A = this chain, B = another copy of it.
Amino acid sequence: MALALMTKGWSVSRWVEAIEKAAPATDVRVWPDALGNVSNIDYALAWKPDHGELKRLPALKVVYSLGAGVDHLLTDPDLPDVPIVRVVEPDMTMRMSEYVIQHVLMHHRQQRLLDQWQRDKHWDGLVQWAASDLRVGIMGLGVLGADAARKLAMIGFRVRGWSQSHKVIDGVQCFAGAGEFDDFLGGTDILVCLLPHTAETEGILNAELFARLAKDGPLGGAVLINVGRGALQVETDILAALENGDLQAATLDVFQTEPLPQESPLWSHPRVTVTPHTAADSDPDTIVRGIMAQIERFERTGELENVVDPKRGY
């Protein structure tokens, strides 16, 4: 069984080692220079390969995306007609929820103000509301969104969620579709975006949306946390909303251009927290172990999990 490892912008050796550790008998071919005989490659493990490259593998059975998103594959006009499988790893879900909980808490508990107080050696009483006074709205209630929503509710927040189709999650007020979007936004103090990148969601985090968020919450304004995809956000609109009061602060892990360009004003904005797309970096060993187990099962039974619907886009 031969497998093509096709990643861009990542350190490839960690992935090769992970494959050799999980399944020592695997014939690993590393794109772009060492694919060897392309006619006998069965599987591709891919992260942002150049468009048109997957088409070069005529015997391909399945493409595994090495991250939760698959927009990098679905935008390939020459995508071969084989199943595309997303990574859905409990480890990655746990990490994403860690990030979401941490940054929701940092906004809720006014950590940036307390950081300033520490720099000023300023000791004072702090007016602090409880988690149960704050409404956190999650856009996107797939595996990642639902897990974060459940955990935030358990910590004490009032959690609401919005998705395309209606979901039921214990302790979470669920909204669905365009008809309930306004209600969802109007009662949201902290907006967490975990939507996939599709034609419908591109640029959804824009001035019009920010204007519809709640302004009457204890934070004195709305907060945006985007851990979905950079293409969902309009960064000039985020900067404008931070000035006109539609946003009070933002935490961004993803950007329209990554790495975030040096000249972006987001880097040094006092009310913006920038992290370099680290929210849910699972380690190669965990991801590869999961994929190799899935390949073994597919070879035995023909069954696949977490197959992407190319029309829906996720």
Q: Which residues of A from 75 to 122 have beta carbons under 8 Å from B? A: 91, 94-95, 97-99, 101-102, 105-106, 108-109, 111, 114, 117-119, 121-122
Which B residues lie within 8 Å of A118 (CB)? Answer: 267, 273-275
Q: Is the Cβ of B278 less than 8 Å from the Cβ of A114?
A: yes
Bound complex: CA A115 to CA B131 (Å): 24
Q: Is the Cβ of A276 less than 8 Å from the Cβ of B108?
A: no
Q: Which residues of A from 128 to 173 have beta carbons under 8 Å from B? A: 128-132, 151, 154-156
Q: How many chain A residues touch B (Cβ–Cβ < 8 Å)?
A: 49
A301 on the interface (CB 8 Å rule)? no
Known interface pairs A105-B105, A118-B267, A151-B154; A276-B126 also in contact (CB < 8 Å): yes
Q: Is the Cβ of B117 less than 8 Å from the Cβ of A109?
A: no
Bound complex: CA A275 to CA B124 (Å): 9
Which B residues lie within 8 Å of A273 (CB)? Answer: 118
Known interface pairs A105-B98, A114-B278, A130-B91; A121-B267 also in contact (CB < 8 Å): yes
Bound complex: CA A275 to CA B113 (Å): 10
* Chain B: minimal CB distance from A189 (Å): 15
Known interface pairs A275-B114, A276-B124; A155-B260 also in contact (CB < 8 Å): no
Q: Is the Cβ of B91 less than 8 Å from the Cβ of A123?
A: no
Q: Is the Cβ of A155 less than 8 Å from the Cβ of B98?
A: yes
Q: Is the Cβ of B98 less than 8 Å from the Cβ of A102?
A: no
* Chain B: minimal CB distance from A301 (Å): 29
Known pairs A98-B105, A124-B276; list 4 more (Cβ under 8 Å). Answer: A97-B155, A98-B131, A102-B105, A123-B276
Q: What is A's interface to B at a CB cutoff of 8 Å?
A: 10-11, 91, 94-95, 97-99, 101-102, 105-106, 108-109, 111, 114, 117-119, 121-126, 128-132, 151, 154-156, 258-260, 262, 267-268, 273-276, 278, 281-283, 286
- The 5 sampled A-B contact pairs (Cβ below 8 Å) are A94-B156, A98-B108, A101-B101, A102-B106, A123-B276
